[in-house]
Amino acid sequence: MFSNEERDSIYKVIYNRRDVRSFLSTPIPEDTILKILNAAHHAPSVGFMQPWNFILISSDRTKEKLAWAAEKERRALAIHYEEEKETKFLSLKVEGLREAPITICVTCDPTRGGSHVLGRNSIPETDILSTACAIQNMWLATCAEGLAMGWVSFYKKNDVRDILEIPPHIDPIALISIGYTEDYPKKPILELANWEKRRSLENLIFKNKWGKN
Amino acid sequence: MFSNEERDSIYKVIYNRRDVRSFLSTPIPEDTILKILNAAHHAPSVGFMQPWNFILISSDRTKEKLAWAAEKERRALAIHYEEEKETKFLSLKVEGLREAPITICVTCDPTRGGSHVLGRNSIPETDILSTACAIQNMWLATCAEGLAMGWVSFYKKNDVRDILEIPPHIDPIALISIGYTEDYPKKPILELANWEKRRSLENLIFKNKWGKN
């Protein structure tokens, strides 16, 4: 059971967690990284398959290659925006792969647990959903540790596979940069940049069937 | 910033959260449900697209239909296990849809935010990954509230779409049952049932490239 104070702390981290793209290069103690990974490893997973791996990237050469892959994808994506939206998109800082002392590639192995994983037999993508739950645990743990985290999803998966020598059947779900930051945002950075607004929760809730309030 | 006590509470909920399939029918206060949904709504989402909706199911008739869909899928899945594994599978309690006072269908709308959602343009499934982060927030919030939650993934999506009148382009990601329970498990139920073991975290961590310890 949880006390009121404990409950408040849990909501505090849920509400204050932000996606951050600017980091200091200050190193992170190794045991803190392990605490964050252990939080990830205690996420739920379909059929208890624990499909995740964590590739810890601290090599400057590897970081440089990942930043190159993200940068070329960013330029490709900019082409799909037009005029003002393109200028605005290009002005956003979308990754901090070079600055962050560590980036973690979180992967999903769809073969983990054998051919008939309980639950995954019905909905195969529950393996990547489990991996996302692990990433959310990492996010809350990094925030609790006074660290900032950013989930980079600008890349071609095969570029990341090539750079990190990941086998073709393994899904590189996310590049997660972690570091200290001088400027932990109070609101989502895309809200502060007037890119998107937070929706009203009320409008997202239905009762007993789709569309019924 | 978080105090040591706050940080401990956050790890406590991460480590103690379990997937539960047995519920009491005791009703849940409406404001507690709203707190849990608000926690979900504060999950990260790619391009801040917030692709989720929440269909709250409390109607007995609708619960009965969902339990029927899950039960027939369970029987279909059992056929893929053989001999002892089949007997063991059929002995597991895999859902509590009839007992739980509320089941929430969490959906993902891939069209939310328009045609070129920032980040989702590169990796389209980041929309369902965002929805999974929202579900993990719900899980931690229910646990903090002294409630139990179970993520049911035994169903054909079109059965759930038919029952809840969900449009064809909307993805019914999960059926989430929530309720009080008399028996909150200390370990994952599939570990207690000797179905799967927790893997060693150490073996899941690589350095700078796949396979390198």
Q: What is the DSSP string of B117-183?
A: -TTTTT-TTHHHHHHHHHHHHHHHHHHHTT-EEEEE--S-HHHHHHHHT--TTSEEEEEEEEE--S-
Establish if B190 belongs to a structural domain: no
What confidence score (pLDDT) does residue B183 get?
87
Residue B11 lies in a domain: no
Please, which pLDDT band fits residue B203 given cuts at 50, 70 and 90?
very high
User: Residue B6: its chain A contacts at CB < 8 A?
Assistant: 9, 12-13, 144
Q: Determine, yes or no, domain membership for A42.
A: yes
Q: What was the pLDDT predicted at B154?
A: 92
Counting Cβ atoms within 10 Å, is residue A208 exposed (0-12), middle (13-18) or buried (19+)?
middle
| Separation between Cα atoms, residue A123 and residue B152, nearest integer Å | 10
Sequence-separated (6 or more) residues with CB below 8 Å from residue B113:
A196, B47, B48, B49, B50, B51, B120
- Give the span between the Cα atoms of A165 and B211, in whole angstroms: 8
Around A125, how many Cα atoms within 13 Å sit in the side-chain half-sphere?
Answer: 16
Interface probe, candidates B3, B9, B75, B177, chain A, greatest A C-beta count within 10 A: B9
Query: Does A183 have pLDDT greater than 90?
Result: no
For residue B94, pLDDT over 90 is answered with no
Predicted confidence (pLDDT) per residue in A119-178, tens digit: 999 999 999 999 999 999 999 999 999 999 999 999 999 999 999 999 999 999 999 999
Name the DSSP letter for residue A75.
Answer: H
Domain membership flag for residue A148: yes
Cβ <8 Å between A14 and B113: no
Average pLDDT over residues A15-20: 98
- Are residues B164 and A210, on separate chains, in Cβ contact within 8 Å? yes
- The answer to the question of residue B177 being in a domain is yes
Instruction: Give the three-class secondary structure for B33.
Output: helix
Query: With bands split at pLDDT 50, 70 and 90, how would you rate the model's confidence at A109?
Result: very high
Of the partner residues A133, A154, A205, the one whose CB lies closest to the CB of residue B136? A133
**How far is it, in rounded angstroms, from Cα A94 to Cα A79?**
16
| DSSP-derived secondary structure letter, A54 | E
Q: Is B145 on the interface with A (CB under 8 A)?
A: yes
With a pLDDT cut of 70, the percent of chain A lying above it is 100
Nearest residue on chain B to A115, alpha-carbon basis? B80
Interface probe for B, chosen from A12, A14, A192 (most Cβ of B below 10 Å), is A14
Q: Do B121 and A195 touch (CB under 8 A)?
A: no
CB of B78 within 8 Å of a chain A CB? The answer is no
Report CB contact under 8 Å: B56, A207: yes
Residue A12 lies in a domain: no
Amino acid occupying residue A167: P
Amino acid identity of B179?
Answer: G
pLDDT (average), residues A170-197: 96
On whether any CB of chain B is under 8 Å from the CB of A210, the answer is yes
Kindly state whether B2 is in contact with chain A, defined as any CB-CB distance less than 8 angstroms.
Answer: yes
CATH number assigned to the domain comprising residue A62: 3.40.109.10
Task: Give ∠ CA A48-B41-A197 in degrees, rounded to 5.
Answer: 140
C-alpha B125/C-alpha A183 separation (Å) is 30
- CB atoms closer than 10 angstroms to residue A35: 17
pLDDT at B162: 98
Q: Using the beta-carbon criterion (under 8 Å), do A48 and B133 form an inter-chain contact? A: no
| Chain A CB within 8 Å of residue B65 CB | no
Question: What integer pLDDT is reported at residue B60 of this predicted model?
Answer: 97
**Domain annotation covers residue A203:** no
- Six token digits for residue A24: 């200091």
Q: Are the beta carbons of A51 and A109 closer than 8 angstroms?
A: yes
CA–CA dist B161, B169 (Å, integer) = 10
User: What pLDDT score does B117 carry?
Assistant: 94
Share of chain B above pLDDT 70, in %: 100
Kindly state whether residue B208 falls inside one of the protein's structural domains: no
Closest CB to B206: pick one of A10, A35, A53.
Answer: A53
Rg value, chain B, Cα: 19
Percent of chain B exceeding pLDDT 90 equals 95
Residue A94: the pLDDT is 86
Check CB contact under 8 Å for A210 and B39.
Answer: no
What strands, in cross-sheet order, belong to the sheet with B205-207?
A: A148-152, A171-179, A102-108, A52-57, B205-207
What is the crossing angle of helices B4-16 and A126-144, to 10°? 160
Instruction: Measure CB to CB from residue B10 to each of A10, A166, A201 and give the nearest one.
Output: A10
> Looking at residues A60-80, what average pLDDT do you find?
96
Range of the domain at A100: 20-110+121-181
Query: Residues 189..208 of A with a Cβ closer than 8 Å to B: which?
Result: 190-191, 195-196, 198-199, 201, 204-208
Grade residue B145 by pLDDT with cuts at 50, 70 and 90. Answer: very high
User: What domain count does chain B have?
Assistant: 1
Are A144 and B206 a contacting pair at CB < 8 A? no
For position A131, what pLDDT does the model report? 98
Whether pLDDT at B51 is above 90: yes
